[in-house]
Amino acid sequence: MIAILVYADWETVPFHFIWVSLTILYGFRVWRMKPTLMLLAAIIVSTGILLVIDVRRGAQPVDELTEVPLMSAMFFIMVWHAQRRLSATRNLERVSETNLRLLERERRFVQNASHELRTPITVAMGHAELLQRGTDPARVAADARIVVQELQRLRRLSDRLLLLAAADDPDFVHRMPIEVEPLLVDAIHRWSPTPRQWKLGVTDEAMVDADSDRLALAIDALVENAVKHTRTSDWIELSVHRNQQVVEIRVADSGTGIPAEDLARITERFGRSEASRTNGVHGVGLGLAIVKAVAEAHGGDLTVRSQLGQGTEVTLSLPESAASWPTAMQQPKPMLTA
């Protein structure tokens, strides 16, 4: 910049050298927008002042002042394009990372599904072969029962896989206002033959806009999960709470609990805690994944709180139906007249 004042006969050569140097430096590394604009403003102001001084001294013609806005505009356009390219590159990197995570998730899903499907198929085929060679009627009947049980297990697994596959479809749920308490009562009636201490806790009057079949399936999955992690002497409690236009369906138990490090993955497909695997708890890890899919399809959420050895509480949160709001809230306010 000093050369602009000292060597006036060079005209705007030093000025152009400043912009060329700045462009070369910027090309090596794209700076953040804020420091770039600050540096750009500093150069525009400083070179503009120096050129004005030269013009007043008669060393430069007045039209040389147009170099400042023209060169700064060209540099700013280059910065804008570079920032757009950098932003596009970052977005592409994020998409690539997301796709890699999805591919890894799908790979694990296929592996787990193949493993879970192969087990009952192997068991059923083994006992079917025994049926072919069997002569003892009692033994044949026992083998037939096992084959039927494993085939039923396969059907339940395939039904759940199909349900999860359809969770993203627009017509996955067909909503209508329904009361929550009767669903909990029906669930306790269905599961009451299972030896547990069944409790119906707080049941606030609440309605949700939901698919009754999907919601009943989700509640069954919550109860089934509680049964798997409890003993015959443990209690299981179902309750429903209203909390600021949110309906919270809770299934709590006094069972074995879930380790803190496993809470993040138990709602994933085939996600099971290590304690379940080591304790021989039956299941494939799709129950809570189904509950989460049903919750999200209704605009809700699923949360799990648990302490190892002290039980678990799973909460299915859904938006409250407008049909259950107070009448004063549903009616429009009267217009005030003068």
pLDDT, one tens digit for every residue, the chain (338 residues): 555 555 555 455 566 666 666 666 666 666 676 777 777 777 777 777 766 776 676 666 666 666 667 677 777 777 777 777 778 888 888 888 888 877 776 666 666 666 666 767 777 778 777 777 777 787 778 878 888 877 777 777 777 777 777 777 777 888 999 999 999 999 999 999 999 999 999 999 999 999 998 999 899 989 998 998 899 999 999 999 998 889 999 999 999 888 887 777 777 765 555 555 445 445 556 778 888 889 999 999 999 998 888 899 999 999 998 876 554 344 444 443 33
Q: Closest Cα partner for 276 from 220, 223, 228, 221?
A: 228
Q: Which residues contact 5 (CB under 8 A, 6 or more apart)?
A: 50, 53, 54
Reported in sequence order, the residue ranges of 96-255 that DSSP labels E, i.e. its strands, are 176-179, 197-203, 207-210, 235-242, 246-253
Name the helix (H) or strand (E) containing 297: helix 287-297
- Of 263, 236, 260, the C-alpha closest to 250 is 236
What are the structure tokens assigned to 148, written together? 């039927």
Spell out where 60-164 has E strands: none
Q: What is the pLDDT of residue 234?
A: 94
**CA 194 from centre of chain:** 34
At 29 the three-state DSSP class reads coil
Contact by Cβ (8 Å): 35, 43: no
How far, in Å, CA of 264 to CA of 271, rounded?
9
Q: What pTM was estimated for this model as a whole?
A: 0.58
Cα distance between residue 195 and residue 200, in whole Å: 15
With b meaning 16 or more CB within 10 Å and e meaning fewer, what string describes 24-54? Answer: eebeeeeeeeeebeeebeebbeebbebbeeb
CA distances from 101 to 12, 62, 69, 167, 262 (A): 55, 61, 47, 20, 19
How much is the pLDDT for 80? 74
Kindly list the distances between the CA atom of residue 25 and the CA atoms of 15, 30, 79, 126, 185, in Å, as whole numbers in the listed order: 16, 9, 12, 73, 72
